[in-house]
Structure 1
């Protein structure tokens, strides 16, 4: 057996040597790239872009609490949810990741959906059809599975965003054709969002969903002040975010201006925070922020996909 392995290794070395002699320009770059860290960085970014695009293709699944008063129609609704989840599992399996990190995230996401389906099938559909009543569903355990997958994704997303920042600093060819100011603001904004909303806190304490105390509110405000965007798009988003902070933590705020005016792209978020006299509700502000950020995200993600998959397209 050892002799056979030795013969195979020698044969591979000889074949590579012949190829290297005949066309060295084809063999040396791939060999160098195989062992290089930049290639692994690019693979991680590519996998993140694949995952991001894949999430847009998944069927929406809304989990609702089960009421003992709900009967037949709710069983049919859960059957539909199970079918959607099954289709989501098949769509997730279609992604072929190269990095270990995203292969593990893929397995976590599939496992979470499978567990949702198993529990809903046995505790809702089968239990109701057999006994005409619902069993208790261990929602907290299932939410922990979802949270574990989202935590793993957040860790890798932070890693990817930081590596993209490095590529900007290095003036890499990958980002040469992308507006550095807009890309830089977008990266800073999303890194800030991860700092403001760490999944680890939710994982450790799933019940803590309410806004935090005054100290946490002031810490959030410091994040906003530290982020000084260069582009109009993110100056506008940060002005909206500051309004949202005042709406959610109105009791903590003593920075309200008496002669406040509506914000626009031209407004700057400085030391004095401007709040309108009649601030919109939190949900409306969140929707406005999402719309603005989604516009930029769609543009930049499209450009990043084009840049990082250029070789595969050619």
Structure 2
């Protein structure tokens, strides 16, 4: 049985008191008034229904759904003695036996192979981080592009906000966007971890919340939306609209948290249908993520065990031990 020190208990209690006091105005807000404010100032709150069996069948007949996700993991110690592995996966609901994988790696020990990317991001303050972001988002876009060619799906469902690809791998992203628009393939992003602050900023700006504290939409909407409700975010309220996206928030499961969804502004006519699709594919008892994306996520993940096995099998022992095993790692490798 582990023991918690008196000081640690006091520190956590202090943290709780600090946060309760800091956000007391938010905690005391009336939920009915908050819903009314959102409905009038941020976006309409509407109830959505799951797709019928006939509608889901038509989705399959039109090419089905491709789920896309990526994963990364890192082995090693301090700079430059580490290697990071990236893996992307696109998986079709109609061609389950034909997954599309792509992989890449990054290590500061082999910058000769990164000359092109170093030049591309030469003005970035953190070139290394920019390169790693580009590699991960880039292979996700690449597997999506290959899925477009091989499967011609009705929908491509990316794990995460679409604006991430616009920022991190713009050239590849624009190719994917163009292909989907020209082929009438609906492209959406499902966002598990909301990082926007649209509602909080609006509340402060309109003096509905007497605080200057930064409030994220995830905590404001926690438990506020009912199961099967979504907010159609007005384009004027989000920076994403300037980059060519339309967004919603929705509660897709009985868990109190919400998720987000992006769609291309050129495909906004499919917004409600895609919200209903995400709702239909999400188990009510889950954390709110469509089951197909959860399946893709589990199959693309680069686990610690996989990393160890991969490096032990394909790297010379002296290379592995001299460059990528820290003293702490020697206890497990």
Same fold at TM > 0.5: no
Name the structure, 1 or 2, with higher relative contact order (CA <8 Å, separation 6+).
2
Q: TM-score with structure 2 length normalisation?
A: 0.26
Is the strand fraction higher in 1 or 2? Answer: 2
